[in-house]
Amino acid sequence: MKRKISIIGSTGSIGTQTLEVIEKLHDDFEIISLAGGKNVDLLNKQIAKFKPKSVCISEKSENLNPCGAKVLYGDEGLEEICSNKENDIIVVAVSGKIGLRPTLKAIENGIDIALANKETLVMAGDIVMKRAKNAGVKILPVDSEHSAIFQCIHGESEKVDRLIITASGGPFLHKSIEEIKNATVEQALAHPRWNMGRKITVDSATLMNKGLEIIEAHHLFDMDYDRINVVIHPQSYVHSAIEYKDGSILAQIGVPSMHLPIQYAICYPERPQGIKSRSFSFADAQKFEFLKPDFEKFPCPALAYEAGRTGGSATTCMNAANEEAVYAFLEGKITLYDIYTTVEKIYRQHNVVKNPNIDEIFEIDNEIRAKTRELFK
């Protein structure tokens, strides 16, 4: 039987690559709904090709050609898609804070989730994971590091002692602090290994992406922060590793491509050939470097460790301030390094709420965003 699937954020980097995987595995999947933001032209092409039953865009547009599909709008539309129990799995591939509500809706309706949107877990990981567990819903990681860890753990989490998350180091790995401080938007968006959306690409340049991933790993694998390490691996062949209690280390290795982690998440526990990327050749990989991360030059991951260990609303605050600072950088209002100083400043002023409920999380998120934006006026 075909697996029924919907994608929210289908017009983005992860969304389009998910559709490439599904195209290859067309006998195994039926698309129920697609949701994009503003890119109506691309959504029209996807609708014509994949014939979903419903589609969602952020705002009404005369240019949308739904080809008979039901048309939905905005956040409510995303939530309606995620409430449709016809779905076996939903890919949450929107960027930023928009991912949280649809994810909660899917959980409420008992639908498994292939989660690309890491911000969801940084905002409200305790609540999301608890609700998913109670509902028997699987949260399958799409992020390549977490997919690597998930593949290595293979159901034996109680025997794992440590997670080793790899990081490419981003475009400024070997640059000086001065060069980082003067980096242009264009330089920050030129990631050496991955072609991704703008928000995550900037996060990769500041290494906040790794900070968010540490928190994401803590929630997905229920692992103490002391047992999550980061290592720089510029070639991005080793997607991450785990160490078992007996000292044995397992890593997941391959040519850098998001197709594999996406495919693994939506096909789990099967492993079809699908859109297999070219095989990795150990003999041809000329370099296989591992370096200690420099948290002085890139302070964001250290702040993320601190926020993670503090828990409660600390990571909600860090995430909101970071997202607003990233948009301000992209709009040319602040420098790349200001992203860190902004997040740190807002974070230090925040009175952490210990066990926030979901309404408090949304409230805190809004407050922090408003406060952060004030700084850029």
Compare residues 10 and 335 and give the one whose CB is closer to ligand NDP. Answer: 10
Give which of ligand NDP, Mg ion, none residue 361 binds (C-beta under 5 to 8 Å, depending on kind).
none
- Out of 6, 37, 84, 347, which residue is the one contacting ligand NDP (CB under 6 A)? 37
Give which of ligand NDP, Mg ion, none residue 117 binds (C-beta under 5 to 8 Å, depending on kind).
ligand NDP
Category of 290 on φ-ψ map: left (φ > 0), alpha (ψ -120 to 50) or beta: beta
197 touching ligand NDP, by CB under 6 A: yes
Q: How far is the CB of 254 from ligand NDP (least distance, A)?
A: 14
Q: Give the DSSP per-residue string, 104-142.
A: HHHHHTT-EEEE--THHHHHHHHHHHHHHHHHT--EEE-
143 touching Mg ion, by CB under 5 A: yes
93 touching ligand NDP, by CB under 6 A: yes
Residue recorded with tokens 């595995």:
25
| CB 332, CB 185: distance < 8 Å | yes
Q: Pick the stretch among 191-199, 238-246, 346-354, 358-366 that binds ligand NDP (CB under 6 A).
A: 191-199
- Out of 6, 11, 166, 240, which residue is the one contacting ligand NDP (CB under 6 A)? 11
| CB 121, CB 308: distance < 8 Å | no
Q: How far is the CB of 122 from Mg ion (least distance, A)?
A: 13
Q: Cis ω on the peptide bond leading into residue 102 (within 30° of 0)?
A: no
| CB 116, CB 143: distance < 8 Å | yes
143 touching ligand NDP, by CB under 6 A: yes
211 touching ligand NDP, by CB under 6 A: no
Binding to ligand NDP, residues 297-336 (CB under 6 A)? none
65 touching ligand NDP, by CB under 6 A: no
119 touching Mg ion, by CB under 5 A: no
Q: Pick the stretch among 63-71, 142-150, 152-160, 250-258 that binds Mg ion (CB under 5 A).
A: 142-150
Structure tokens at 177: 């602090």
* Element containing residue 199 per DSSP (H, E): helix 198-206
Compare residues 194 and 376 and give the one whose CB is closer to ligand NDP. Answer: 194
Residue recorded with tokens 């999301």:
128
116 touching ligand NDP, by CB under 6 A: yes
| CB 137, CB 285: distance < 8 Å | no
- In sequence order, the β-bridge partners of residue 231 are 166
- Name the residue among 246, 275, 245 with its Cα closest to residue 263: 275
SS3 label, residue 254: coil
Q: Under rule CB under 6 A, how many of the chain's residues touch ligand NDP?
A: 28
Compare residues 10 and 144 and give the one whose CB is closer to Mg ion. Answer: 144
Q: Pick the stretch among 15-23, 138-146, 242-250, 312-320 that binds Mg ion (CB under 5 A).
A: 138-146
Q: How far is the CB of 198 from ligand NDP (least distance, A)?
A: 6
196 touching ligand NDP, by CB under 6 A: yes
Q: Under rule CB under 5 A, how many of the chain's residues touch Mg ion?
A: 3
36 touching ligand NDP, by CB under 6 A: yes
Select the residue whose beta carbon is closest to ligand NDP and give its number: 12
Compare residues 82 and 242 and give the one whose CB is closer to ligand NDP. Answer: 82
| CB 244, CB 161: distance < 8 Å | yes
Q: Which residues contact 324 (CB under 8 A, 6 or more apart)?
A: 342, 368, 369, 372, 373
Total H helices, total E strands in the chain: 15, 11
| CB 343, CB 321: distance < 8 Å | yes
203 touching Mg ion, by CB under 5 A: no
Give which of ligand NDP, Mg ion, none residue 58 binds (C-beta under 5 to 8 Å, depending on kind).
ligand NDP
Backbone φ and ψ for 66, nearest 5 degrees, come out as -75, -10
Backbone φ and ψ for 102, nearest 5 degrees, come out as -60, -40
Structure tokens at 329: 């950088």
* Element containing residue 34 per DSSP (H, E): strand 29-35
- Out of 2, 38, 245, 309, which residue is the one contacting ligand NDP (CB under 6 A)? 38
Binding site for ligand NDP (CB under 6 A): 9-15, 35-39, 58, 93-95, 98, 116-119, 143, 194, 196-198, 200, 258
Residues near Mg ion (CB under 5 A): 143-145
